[in-house]
Chains A and B, each alone.
Chain A
Amino acid sequence: MDEDELAARNARERRKRSIAIALVLGAMVLLFFLMTIVRLKGHAFD
Chain B
Amino acid sequence: MAVTETFVRGERIATVGDFFALLKPRVMSLVIFTGLAGIVVAPGHIDPVSAFTALLCIAVAAGASGALNMAYEADLDARMTRTAARPVARGAIAKHEALAFGWSLSVAAVTLMGLFINLVAAALLAFTVFFYVVVYTLWLKRRTAQNIVIGGLAGALPPAIGWAAVTGHIALAPLTLVLITFLWTPPHFWALALYRCEDYVRAGLPMMPVVKGKAHTRKEILAYTIALFFAGIAPSFIGLGGPLYLAVAALFSGWMVFDAFAVLREKDEVKEPAARRLFGVSIFYLFILFAALILERLLGIAPMGAGHFGAWM
Contact = CB atoms under 8 A, between A and B. Distances in A.
Interface of A: 3, 6-7, 9-11, 13-14, 16-17, 20, 31, 34-35, 37-39
Contacts of A16: 15-16
A45 to B, nearest CB: 17
Contact of B15 (A13, A31, A35): A13
A1 B4 CA distance: 18
Contacts of B53: 31, 35
B8 interface: yes
B138 interface: no
Given A16-B15, A20-B16, A11 B8 contact: yes
Interface of B: 4-5, 8-16, 19, 47, 49-50, 53, 56, 116
Contact of B8 (A7, A31, A34, A37): A7
Classify the interface of chain B: helix, strand, loop or mixed: helix
A34 B49 contact: yes
A10 B50 CA distance: 38
12 contacts: A3-B10, A6-B8, A7-B5, A9-B12, A16-B15, A17-B13, A31-B53, A34-B49, A35-B50, A37-B49, A38-B47, A38-B49
A7 B9 contact: yes
Contacts of B16: 13, 16-17, 20
A10 B6 CA distance: 12
Contacts of B49: 34-35, 37-38
A3 B13 CA distance: 13
Nearest to B20: A20
A21 to B, nearest CB: 9
A31 B56 contact: yes
A9 B11 CA distance: 11
A38 B12 contact: no
Nearest to B18: A13
B44 to A, nearest CB: 15
Nearest to A36: B116
A20 B22 CA distance: 15
Contact of A10 (B8, B19, B47, B116): B8
Contacts of A9: 12
A24 to B, nearest CB: 10
Contacts of B47: 38
A34 to B, nearest CB: 5
A20 B47 CA distance: 28
